[in-house]
Amino acid sequence: MNEIAALLRRLSVGVYVIGVTDGERRSAFTAAWVTQVSFDPLLLAVSVNPQNASYAILRAGGAFTVNVLERGQLELARRFGTLSSRDVDKLAGIQWHKGKNGAPVLDDALAYVECELQDRHPAGDHELVVGLVVGGRVVHPAAAPMLYAETGDMDGSSAMFG
């Protein structure tokens, strides 16, 4: 891994599974780029690759959840980050329930936030999706969140800076 990729791994960002819904269609994907952007109203921004199969579901359904993973849930992050939802139901075999907005909430998540889609902004090869927070809960208050550095090269970023 080169120096830039190693440096980016040291930024303090978490690892999240973004649940999306549109009617009966549901999916989820791993994201590391989630941040609060406003207190009033309470807004979060998520960086999404528009080529991701789940992105069309997010846009059509207008709702999503941010499931906060806890330290040690690398296999869960890998499952939602590497499987293509075009090929397989990533939620199969995972315990989850519908949030207030209908989007998947992972039962094993440290915490979750429920959002309604408010806006979208192009950002290079990704899109910033802004969501209005409409609910959420800390499920495991004593747990520590997973950090991006724990994922190693799961996202293949070292090849991007080669």
Look up residue 22 and give its DSSP letter: E
Counts for the chain of helices (H) and strands (E), in that order: 4, 9
pLDDT of 16-48, one tens digit each?
999 999 999 999 999 988 999 999 999 999 999
The residues pairing with 22 across neighbouring beta strands, listed in sequence order, are 25
Question: What's the pLDDT at 153?
Answer: 52
User: What pTM did the predictor assign?
Assistant: 0.85
> Which structure tokens are listed for 98?
């519908």
3-state secondary structure of 46: strand
Task: Provide, rounded to the nearest whole percent, the portion of the chain with pLDDT above 70.
Answer: 83
- The phi, psi pair for 106, rounded to 5°, reads -75, 130
